[in-house]
A = this chain, B = another copy of it.
């Protein structure tokens, strides 16, 4: 992997008019700077062949030095899965307002891309999660996730019953709608809706967040990312559970089966133009600084 970006692949959901329009502005700009621009055959955007080359989407990370993902955080997740095993970095251009991951706005896009091409950027590694079902060995049975690996019920109205173990030690038995194992990146996604804390991305840690737990003291636990999580479905009642990685259903988990989650060997490289500020993104996305509860300052006269 080179950190001068000579070949850049654009990805995004071209059917979205804002995505298409952004790509149409970006591709010629990059081409004029001498960058080879790749897009997927499948891309639903009509870009002049003088500026771009088409390859199958799965081939993009083999050829490109950088993936530019145009869209929202969903597109960034998609891009992270495309590149995860190739260690090609990703830069995100948002369609609209700031995303957690796609932090270049359309109006700053050309200026920011120029800065990045001039070597004026930071590369931030983000922890990826690796999950596998117990009994399935080998790298091909491993699924990667940027945000979270979620165990959830697949049947209405029934709680799951399972145990958590960390590095082989029994932690707790749970009755709940499921369990989220989130990376720092994912701590501001689904996990946050389930009372999980925010993990700063520099923290090499995972968080286990139970979903709607039966026991009210069954609280999120943050552990070092060097440790492995195992979730064991209990045998004792008929159970239908699912494993969902970054929002995609990846497996069913039966009674007695186990799910293993740890930090992946790979990480995702996020490319940020100058001025990137993680906390500004938090403040913007979480509406910080705009009053919520109506607790007035009291007055005396």
Residue ranges of A at the interface with B (Cβ–Cβ < 8 Å) = 13, 42, 71-78, 99-101, 150, 152, 154, 156-159, 166, 169-173, 175-177, 188-190, 192-200, 202-205, 207, 211-224, 227, 237, 242, 244, 246-249, 277, 279, 282-283, 285-299, 301
Pick from B13, B190, B211, B215: contact of A287, CB under 8 Å: B215
A156–B244 CB distance below 8 A: yes
Pair B246/A292 contact, Cβ less than 8 Å: no
| Inter-subunit contact A214/B291 (CB<8 Å) | yes
Which B residues are CB-close (under 8 A) to A237? 297
- Residues of chain B within 8 A (CB-CB) of A196 are 197
Q: Would A301 and B156 be within 8 Å (CB), given that A294-B73, A294-B189 are in contact?
A: no
Which residues of chain B are near A13, meaning CB under 8 Å? 299, 301
This chain: how many copies in the complex?
Answer: 4
List 25 A–B pairs whose Cβ atoms lie within 8 Å, in order of A's numbering.
Answer: A71-B299, A74-B298, A77-B296, A152-B156, A156-B244, A156-B247, A157-B244, A171-B279, A172-B279, A172-B282, A189-B293, A192-B293, A194-B212, A198-B219, A198-B220, A198-B222, A200-B222, A205-B222, A215-B290, A215-B293, A216-B219, A217-B217, A217-B288, A247-B298, A287-B292
In the assembly, what is the distance between CA of A74 and CA of B157, in Å?
A: 12
Q: Determine whether the beta carbon of A193 is less than 8 Å from that of B217.
A: no
